[in-house]
Amino acid sequence: MTSFCLEVTGDFACFTRPEMKVERVSYDVITPSAARAVFEAILWKPAIRWQVNKIEVLEPIRWISVRRNEVAAKASVRNAQTAMRDGRGHLALYVEDERQQRAGLFLRDVAYRLHADLLPVAGDALGNPVKYREIFQRRAEKGQCINQPYLGCREFAARFRLVADPAAERPALHETRDLGWMLHDITFGADPQPHFFRAAMRDGVIDLTQAQVSQ
3-state secondary structure of 13: strand
**pLDDT at residue 214 greater than cutoff 80:** no
Band (25; pLDDT cuts 50, 70, 90): very high
- Averaged pLDDT score across all residues of the chain: 90
Phi first, then psi, for residue 154 (nearest 5°) are: -65, -25
pLDDT tens digits, one per residue of 122-157: 877 777 788 899 999 999 999 999 999 999 999 999
pTM of the model: 0.86
pLDDT of residue 1: 63
Count of H-run helices and E-run strands, the chain: 4, 11
Q: How far apart are CA 89 and CA 77, in angstroms?
A: 11
Q: Which residue has the higher pLDDT, 211 or 160?
A: 160
pLDDT tens digits, one per residue of 26-84: 999 999 999 999 999 999 998 899 999 999 999 999 999 998 888 877 777 888 888 88
Angle at 127 between CA 122 and CA 132, to 5 degrees: 75
pLDDT tens digits, one per residue of 98-121: 788 888 999 999 999 999 999 988
| String of DSSP letters for 154-204 | EEEE-EEEE-S-GGGSPPPPS--EEEEEEEEEEE-SSS-EEEEEEEEEBTT
Q: How far apart are CA 50 and CA 187, in angstroms?
A: 14
Q: How far apart are CA 106 and CA 110, in angstroms?
A: 10
- In what helix (H) or strand (E) does residue 109 lie, and over which residues does it extend? strand 99-120
3-state secondary structure of 111: strand
pLDDT of residue 77: 83
Helix axes 129-142, 32-42, angle to 10 degrees: 90
pLDDT tens digits, one per residue of 172-197: 999 999 999 999 988 887 788 889 99
Count of Cβ atoms closer than 10 Å to residue 81 Cβ: 11
Pairing of the two strands 159-162 and 150-151: unpaired
